[in-house]
Amino acid sequence: MEIQVNGKIKQLPKEVETVADLLHYFGLDAKMVIVEQNKEIVSKDNFQGANLQSNDTIELVRFVGGG
């Protein structure tokens, strides 16, 4: 499946089916990420149920600590 992630086209393996799978694939902690799918924020409670489709546009915003 081909989707756009943060402005870049990515070819994903078939086992990446949901937002939760996508975060795992990229090694991201779901607690530290905001996900926008096709210009809609995905609730953290719905990461497992948010299915990905070819040509989706995904934006991943990570929280970074510092001081």
Judge whether 67 lies within some domain. Answer: no
Structural domains in the chain (count) = 1
Tell me phi and psi for residue 46, to 5 degrees.
-110, 10
> Rounded to two decimals, what is the model's pTM?
0.91
Q: What is the pLDDT of residue 64?
A: 74
| pLDDT value for 6 | 98
CATH number of the domain at 18, please. 3.10.20.30
Give one DSSP letter per residue of 1-36, joined into a string. Answer: -EEEETTEEEE--TT--BHHHHHHHHT--GGGEEEE
Residue 53 lies in a domain: yes
Residue ranges making up the domain that contains 32: 2-62
| Joined tokens for residue 45 | 């409670």
pLDDT digits (tens, 9 = 90+) for 2-61: 999 999 999 999 999 999 999 999 999 999 999 999 999 999 999 999 999 999 999 999
Closest listed residue to residue 59, CA positions, set 42, 37, 28, 30: 37
Q: Is 52 helix (H, G, I), strand (E, B) or coil?
A: coil
